[in-house]
């Protein structure tokens, strides 16, 4: 079995601030991390690899040269090969242009039985790239998966839905996007694994290498634009009142009248 996991380098959202004047993210001095949803997808792929003798796990990413750091992390965690799509032509790509490039990268890799993606990237929250890759590849997709397993040529996924879960099956090849438990704690490799990962295969491909039409990449190939990024307004501090029911009811009426919600 051959598994590919699409991963992305993102700014650490816990340390990102928004420029109030320009409405853009202030990335200077903010460390980059492996997108947590992709990290979880990678761990699910590693579990499959462990239970299927001879399985090969390839990680694919699109980003600047410094994204090599997350590729090395993925290799240290247990991936067999890393491929980074890096080219100035990719800069400014929206989810459609990104999925186009990643799909071409997956085609260049060759036969793949299963593609795993994180549900979404924490720097965009669109949840569009995974499904768009499946559409580009013309393969089935199962989104919002908590876990996946493979038996023969059949994949079984536990899919998160409103109010619970459902079990979905699909024939390989298939693409799944993975959700992330609220208490998820990413695994990190030991130092020895990090050193051993230096010897694992790693390649960088350009737009030309994957046979991309540059008019479908970057800002030119992106049908959508980010208009503005802003932090939600801070909530006003609430007040707590104590007392009996009649006293509290009277207090509430007074406040509602003061705020002109009720007429005196």
Cβ-count burial of 193 within 10 angstroms (0-12 exposed, 13-18 middle, 19+ buried)? Answer: middle
| Token digits of residue 176 | 């799944």
The whole-number pLDDT of residue 157 equals 97
Cα–Cα–Cα angle for 164, 166, 169, rounded to 5 degrees = 160
Cβ neighbours, 10 Å, residue 23: 13
Q: How far is CA 4 from CA 9, 38, 248, in A?
A: 16, 12, 60
The whole-number pLDDT of residue 238 equals 80
Distance CA 154, CA 114 (A): 10
The whole-number pLDDT of residue 262 equals 84
The whole-number pLDDT of residue 47 equals 96
What's the average pLDDT block by block, 10 residues per block, for the chain (264 residues)?
96 73 67 94 97 96 94 96 96 94 98 97 91 97 97 96 94 97 91 91 96 95 82 76 91 88 78
The whole-number pLDDT of residue 50 equals 95
The whole-number pLDDT of residue 23 equals 59
Does domain 2-216 fall under CATH 3.65.10.10? My reply is: no
The whole-number pLDDT of residue 29 equals 72
Q: Report which of 55, 65, 74, 56 is spatially closest to residue 6, judged by C-alpha positions.
A: 74
Strand partners, 114: 3, 174
Q: How many residues does the chain have?
A: 264
Distance CA 123, CA 9 (A): 9
Q: Report which of 142, 145, 126, 124 is spatially closest to residue 134, judged by C-alpha positions.
A: 142
Residue 199 has what DSSP assignment? G
The whole-number pLDDT of residue 128 equals 95
Domain map (residue ranges) of the chain: 2-216
The whole-number pLDDT of residue 118 equals 97
Q: Report which of 13, 14, 23, 19 is spatially closest to residue 226, judged by C-alpha positions.
A: 23
Q: Which backbone phi and psi does 6 adopt, to 5 degrees?
A: -90, 125
The whole-number pLDDT of residue 225 equals 83
């Amino acid at each position: 079995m051959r598994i590919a996991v699409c991963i992305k380098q993102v700014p650490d959202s816990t340390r990102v601030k928004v420029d109030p004047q320009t409405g853009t993210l202030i990335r200077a001095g903010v460390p980059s991390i492996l997108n947590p949803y992709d990290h979880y997808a990678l761990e699910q792929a590693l579990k499959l690899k462990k239970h299927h003798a001879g399985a090969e796990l390839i990680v694919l990413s699109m980003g600047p040269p410094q994204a090599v750091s997350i590729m090395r992390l993925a290799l240290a965690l247990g991936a067999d090969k890393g491929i980074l799509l890096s080219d100035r032509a990719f800069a400014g790509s929206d989810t459609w242009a990104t999925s186009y490039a990643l799909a071409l990268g997956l085609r260049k890799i060759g036969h793949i039985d299963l593609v795993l993606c994180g549900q979404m990237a924490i720097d965009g929250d669109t949840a569009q790239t995974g499904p768009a890759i499946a559409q580009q590849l013309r393969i089935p997709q199962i989104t919002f998966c908590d876990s996946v397993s493979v038996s023969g040529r059949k994949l079984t996924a536990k899919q998160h839905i409103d109010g619970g879960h459902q079990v979905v099956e699909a024939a390989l090849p298939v693409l799944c996007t993975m959700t992330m438990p609220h208490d998820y704690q990413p695994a990190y490799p030991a130092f020895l694994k990090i050193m051993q990962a230096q010897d694992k295969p790693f390649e960088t491909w350009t737009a030309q290498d994957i046979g991309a039409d540059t008019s479908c990449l970057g800002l030119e190939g992106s049908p959508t634009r980010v208009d503005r990024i802003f932090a939600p307004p801070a909530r006003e501090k609430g007040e707590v009142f104590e007392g009996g029911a009649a006293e509290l009811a009277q207090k509430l009426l007074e406040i509602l009248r003061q705020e002109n919600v009720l007429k005196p």
